[in-house]
Structure 1
Amino acid sequence: MEIIIPLLSFALQVCIFYWVHIIKVNSDEQVKQNKEIISLLKKIYDDNTSNSGFH
């Protein structure tokens, strides 16, 4: 019984660190996607303003 509590504690720590890692990876991917969306929106805006005749 003495060995179970430290093993559970270690397993919980591993799970928490893995969960934080997954959140970090997903956040990095979200930032990348947001930057791509912004650049596409800027391109659409630039295309629309240059073709509309308004400068």
Structure 2
Amino acid sequence: MSRADAQFKLRMPASLRTQVEQAAKEARRSLNAEIVIRLEASFAQERPKQEAQL
């Protein structure tokens, strides 16, 4: 990821932010990197389901 990537503001409940921050800290990642990795993983899980429907 670079500073040239698109940026946007994200609102989330404080309790969720705390969970993501803790996970990022444990994985030695930034908050942003943790969010991106988790989003990518969720889409990767959806792909096999979508392909099975074809």
Q: Which has the larger radius of gyration?
A: 1
Higher RCO (CA < 8 A, seq sep 6+): 2
Q: Give the structure-2-normalised TM-score.
A: 0.44
TM-score if structure 1 supplies the norm length? 0.43
Task: Compare the two structures and name the one with the higher helix fraction.
Answer: 1
